[in-house]
Homo-oligomer: A and B are copies of this chain.
Amino acid sequence: MEKPAQPTAKPGVKAATGRGINARRPAEAKLAELKQRLLEISELESVSSVLSWDHATYMPEGGAAARVRQGALISRIRHERAVDPALGRLLGDLTPYAEDLPDDSDAASLIRVARRDFEKAIRFPAGYVARASALRSAAYDAWTRARPENDFAAMQPYLERAVDLAREYAGYFAPYEHVADPLIDDAEEGMTAAMIIGLFSQLKQHLQPLADSICAQTDPRANCLQGFFDEAAQIGFSLSVVKRFGYDLARGRIDKTHHPFCSKFSLGDVRITTRVCERQFGPALFAAMHEAGHAMYEQGVAPELEGTPLGSGASFGVHESQSRLWENLVGRGRPFWEYFYPLLRDAFPDQLRGIELESFYRAINKVQRSLIRTAADEVTYNLHIMMRFGLELELLEGRLRIKDVPEAWRQRMKADLGIAPADDRDGCLQDVHWYGGVAFGGGFQSYTIGNILSAQFYDAATKAHPEIPNEIAKGEFGMLLGWLRTRLYRHGRKFTPAELVPRVAGAPMSIAPYVDYLRRKYSEIYRLPGAGTVNQRQINAPAR
């Protein structure tokens, strides 16, 4: 009844065949074993994702305690397999084999990336994983209570532990140039604090004057986005848009949650979530477009990479480039709304009566100094990120004390955004990220890297196919999606960002297309003087 086991080379056959084949045979068997081991690690990650997705969508409140235990157990089993010495030996044995293959072949990439993952994973102990996971769960629960109470003191011990854990993690990778480097490397392989400091300081020089000159203008009226927008109709419209983008619903679905996310369980099951506020049009649709960007990236990874460490996006920042490209470059663009605004008015005729396309377009692109990062517009969003990245570095370096965070937050907001929160609820308690340690020192910078790359990739796509904006204005996205699939999505995690960006965009990462995009778009909306192309040489990102 049992299927025959994988055929093994008989000694007789081995002796009879040529030397070259003999030498390769064991490597191929080892590669098959490697893939089997990596598949199980990947399946365990998917199982964790199913548990988290359910937690965030349908789980009744009574399920939380056991779900945390279940998630921790699967993570522990996954970690045990990821650091199994037998996996290490297999990777060691296969390295010479990989070196004989072209660098960009699937097999060479697989062995190279899996080896890097393994060498990272064995640096830190299983106890670290358990403690980090426990902090994340505990901090989330504490934060949901502390934020409404404006109670930073309650969160201070969590932030202390989060910073300690981040420093402990960095310690496993010593020596390093900057304590944040090992954390940054996890999100953006090959990048360092020094590189990001340079990048951000250039970007800031362009963004701050732009934000200042816009905020000196009179506000476009955005209250056309207020009213009553039925939940089912908002979800229905969002779904029609992301389907049109090319998000495959036979391999996905949309559900409601508090903090929208995209979750992959397999190449055939990549789900998105959104949140709906019936008093406002916007958040549900833009969240759906954002998550669909992530999801189309994952749905576009080459099937032969599925179930391996190569079977997902290249980095946090490259992933974010796709969510931002579809949400902002496409979804907040004029061509998009030329096609979709009439459809939106069909869906909400009373709410949008008398509001012309131009007013609507300005309303969804309103720029203002605001307190909450996740609700910030395209221009000021990065100022939030840069401020937080700066504070993170100071915390990790030990230059900023935990107890001084609320005051430092207010001062920095005032300096960078020109506005300061009245309380910590809208200040350093506004999101949970820091306290759970999830993204600590290894996450926020990627949002801005994603923004930079979104414009660079879109620029490259429209240079290759100048008709893309016209297609979008006809509600057609196949040309853009096809280009992204071929140039970017299918490669999964075969390449590091530094290897990948030139393959996609023809040049290393550069802030020029992004600054240029923001200047053009917002100079036109806000009728700013001197809108033009920026000097390419001045604003190249630091090369790697």
A residues lining the B interface (CB < 8 Å): 1-2, 39-40, 43-44, 46-47, 50-51, 54, 58-67, 69-70, 73-74, 77, 127, 131, 161, 164-165, 168, 248-253, 255, 265-269, 271, 307
Q: Is B63 in contact with A44, judged by CB distance below 8 angstroms? A: no
Report the separation of the CA atoms of residues A249 and B44 in the bound assembly, to the nearest whole angstrom.
30
| Least CB separation from A251: chain B residue | B62
Q: Is B1 in contact with A66, judged by CB distance below 8 angstroms? A: no
Q: Is A46 in contact with B70, judged by CB distance below 8 angstroms? A: yes
Which of B60, B77, B127 contacts A268 (CB under 8 A)? B60
Which of A46, A62, A255, A265 has the most C-beta atoms of chain B within 10 angstroms of its own C-beta? A62
A250: which B residues are within 8 A, CB to CB?
60-62
Expressed in whole angstroms, the minimum distance between the Cβ of A67 and any Cβ of chain B is 7
A46: which B residues are within 8 A, CB to CB?
66, 70
Report the separation of the CA atoms of residues A2 and B268 in the bound assembly, to the nearest whole angstrom.
39
Q: Is B69 in contact with A252, judged by CB distance below 8 angstroms? A: no
Which of A43, A252, A307 has the most C-beta atoms of chain B within 10 angstroms of its own C-beta? A43
Q: Is A44 in contact with B73, judged by CB distance below 8 angstroms? A: yes
Which of A127, A131, A161, A268 has the most C-beta atoms of chain B within 10 angstroms of its own C-beta? A268
Which of B64, B165, B266, B267 contacts A67 (CB under 8 A)? B266
Q: Is A1 in contact with B269, judged by CB distance below 8 angstroms? A: no
Q: Is A50 in contact with B54, judged by CB distance below 8 angstroms? A: yes
Q: Is B58 in contact with A253, judged by CB distance below 8 angstroms? A: yes
Q: Is B51 in contact with A47, judged by CB distance below 8 angstroms? A: yes
18 A-B interface contacts by CB (under 8 A): A1-B161, A1-B164, A44-B73, A50-B54, A50-B70, A60-B249, A60-B252, A62-B250, A62-B251, A62-B252, A62-B267, A63-B251, A65-B268, A66-B268, A66-B269, A66-B307, A67-B269, A70-B265
| Least CB separation from A165: chain B residue | B1
Q: Is A265 in contact with B63, judged by CB distance below 8 angstroms? A: yes
Which of A58, A65, A252 has the most C-beta atoms of chain B within 10 angstroms of its own C-beta? A58
Q: Is B131 in contact with A60, judged by CB distance below 8 angstroms? A: no
A271: which B residues are within 8 A, CB to CB?
60
A66: which B residues are within 8 A, CB to CB?
43, 46, 265-269, 307
Report the separation of the CA atoms of residues A73 and B64 in the bound assembly, to the nearest whole angstrom.
24
Q: A60-B249, A60-B253, A131-B1 are in contact. Are A266 and B47 (CB under 8 A)?
A: no
Which of A66, A73, A252, A255 has the most C-beta atoms of chain B within 10 angstroms of its own C-beta? A66
Q: Is A168 in contact with B267, judged by CB distance below 8 angstroms? A: no
